[in-house]
Amino acid sequence: MAPKKSEKPLNRSRPPYVDTVFDILEELWGNEKEEPRLGHEEPLDGLVLTLLSQNTNDRNRDKGFAALKAAFPTWERTASASAEAIEDVIRPAGLAKTKSERMLQILGAVREAFGDYSLKALAEKDDAEARNYLASLPGIGAKTVACVLLFDLGRPAFPVDTHIARFCRRMKWVEESLPPEEIQPLLEEWVPVERYLGGHVNIIEHGRGLCRARNPECAQCPLKRENLCPSAQ
């Protein structure tokens, strides 16, 4: 499905203090210096894990993925199972019917493209080809594409989840109505590539730790202290 376009034209100029904000978040959360290992040896694992993460939290996503791997240890086994059997197994991750059907469609498409249930061949493709291929898979949106590119293939991409979208809006870097899939290309333009992975994780930790959706702890936030957040309470 084509991403929904916002009605307002994008302001594409780089906001001031992007580097300073990333520096402060790095000082606070430290994921640039010590980048977390979020990737999988088999990028298809990362793709399915991200598919399971839709509309649920990390705990339920991981429960669903662990149950899937326990029931069907290989992607061949998953692909030969029925949608109903997969649905039963991944129920902890929610939206089990939709996710099981999508999973089978994706596995079929991957097998057709590469002759195997593996996305390792994407390592041979350039960044744009890898991105376009992932985006062509059924039910896979911009965030999932970016997660697989960044975490599993080590390619430049800045996934935008709910925490990152909220943070960008509070910083007034983007309009309130701008959807995540339109924030992503802006961050990819504004942020230096080498800061993508650590910066992405820093903002998520900030969104979980201080800049929460409800009752953000602005009094504890160094961005308030430095007068860098226009939404500070």
Write out the binding residues for ligand SF4, residues 177-216 only, by CB under 6 A. 210-211, 216
- The DSSP letter of residue 90 is T
Whether 172 is catalytic is: no
224 lies in the binding site for ligand SF4 (CB under 6 A):
yes
For residue 2, the 8-state DSSP code is P
- Size of site (CB under 6 A) for ligand SF4: 12
Return d(Cα 3, Cα 20) in angstroms, integer.
Answer: 31
Residue 15 lies near ligand SF4 (rule: CB under 6 A): no
Cβ atoms of 78 and 86 within 8 Å: the answer is yes
Q: Does 232 bind ligand SF4 (CB under 6 A)?
A: yes
As a whole number of angstroms, the distance between CA 218 and CA 222 comes to 8
**Does 218 interact with ligand SF4 (rule: CB under 6 A)?**
yes
HSE, side-chain direction, 13 A CA sphere, residue 130: 25
The amino acid sitting at 78 is: T
Compose the 139-178 pattern: x for residues touching ligand SF4 by CB under 6 A, - for all others.
-------------------------------x--------
Would you tell me which residues interact with ligand SF4 (CB under 6 A)?
170, 210-211, 216-218, 221, 223-224, 229, 231-232
